[in-house]
Structure 1
């Protein structure tokens, strides 16, 4: 059944519009979805392949918070550009375009108008800022040499105290008598003789008076 000319013309125009829009999207009519970014088709994994200066800095070396869709770069010291890949294209964020903030970076938009899920991302430049913390083994501290002190027990502490009893010193004369065996015994004999003589004299005198 042949279509009327107006209907046939409408069908041809509709097909041409759909084909044109599909061809335009596939040919590079991509949207970055962010005025700070520039969209590019295909895929890149290095700054050299993206035509950007600087060294390629892996995402693991960058201090950032990221999920499947958005990225917040917390420390961008030394970074000149950020590349975010998703779908069949990638967004390039130059540092000069991020003067107002390095948050909510994402890949180009899908046909539904939402950012595509991030497949990978990296940065370009020279990483000079603080890198994400890594586990480090603390250095072993040298222990100071121990000093061995040998203690010698005091002899006074172990020697029991002894008591010494002293006698008063004897007179010099007594020492001489003790050493000579009382050598003055003859004096006693003389004294006894004198006493006897005196007694005899008294006896004689009594007799005369009588």
Structure 2
């Protein structure tokens, strides 16, 4: 059964709108939904694939908070991060650090056809911190020849003092030994003198 002209016109218009909407999405008419982000189609998992400098930093290594709907990201510590990539649906948003000078909150993936951000399928960051050179080890001070000579010279008087002390002790021992035998000599002399006196007295009596 043939359709009336008004119904045929309405059907043609509806078909044209559906075809136009499908053509727009097939042609990559994407919206980031955030003035801070640039939108890109397809999928990437590394900074190199996204054409961004720096190394890929997994989301697990970034201090961040994702809301309960898995739609919005707040980066809590962005030290060393130069960009954040948020993927959802058939596209991803790229947030450069310069564009986030006003805040690193509310990051999300591109918009769905309903005008709301798609749920996040995955996200990662790019960048890296500059490595500091290891500290230089201090070398121990070197002992000079002059110091060694001084030490040897300082040790010499100590040796001399020890030798002199030993010599003085030996001298005192020798002097003490001589003094102990002198009384024996005196006693012998006294006995000889007494004997001579006795002989002299006896001779006088005989005479």
Q: TM-score, normalised by structure 2?
A: 0.57
Tell me the distance in 1 between the aligned counterparts of 2:88 and 2:130.
27
User: Higher helix fraction: Structure 1 or Structure 2?
Assistant: 2
Tell me the distance in 2 between the aligned counterparts of 1:3 and 1:11.
10
1:35 maps to which residue? Answer: 35
2:61 maps to which residue? Answer: 61
Tell me the distance in 1 between the aligned counterparts of 2:119 and 2:92.
11
Worse overlay, 88-97 or 23-32: 23-32
Q: 1:65 to 1:128 in 2, by over 3 A?
A: farther
- Note the 1:110-125 alignment, pairs <5 A: 110-125=112-127
1:87 maps to which residue? Answer: 89
Larger radius of gyration: 1
How many residues were matched structurally?
Answer: 129
Tell me the distance in 1 between the aligned counterparts of 2:94 and 2:101.
15
1:77 maps to which residue? Answer: 79
1:46 maps to which residue? Answer: 46
Q: What SS does structure 1 have at the residue aligned with 2:71?
A: coil
2:105 maps to which residue? Answer: 103
Offset of residue 6 of structure 1: 4.6
Q: What SS does structure 2 have at the residue aligned with 1:76?
A: coil
- Note the 1:139-178 alignment, pairs <5 A: none
Q: TM-score, normalised by structure 1?
A: 0.56
1:160 maps to which residue? Answer: none
Q: What SS does structure 2 have at the residue aligned with 1:40?
A: strand
Q: What SS does structure 2 have at the residue aligned with 1:14?
A: helix
Tell me the distance in 2 between the aligned counterparts of 1:26 and 1:85.
18
Tell me the distance in 1 between the aligned counterparts of 2:72 and 2:17.
34
Q: What SS does structure 1 have at the residue aligned with 2:49?
A: coil
Listed as ranges, the gaps of 5+ residues in structure 2 are 132-207
Listed as ranges, the gaps of 5+ residues in structure 1 are 130-210
Superposed CA RMSD: 1.8
Tell me the distance in 2 between the aligned counterparts of 1:78 and 1:6.
63
Tell me the distance in 2 between the aligned counterparts of 1:114 and 1:12.
29
Tell me the distance in 2 between the aligned counterparts of 1:58 and 1:117.
18
Tell me the distance in 2 between the aligned counterparts of 1:36 and 1:75.
18
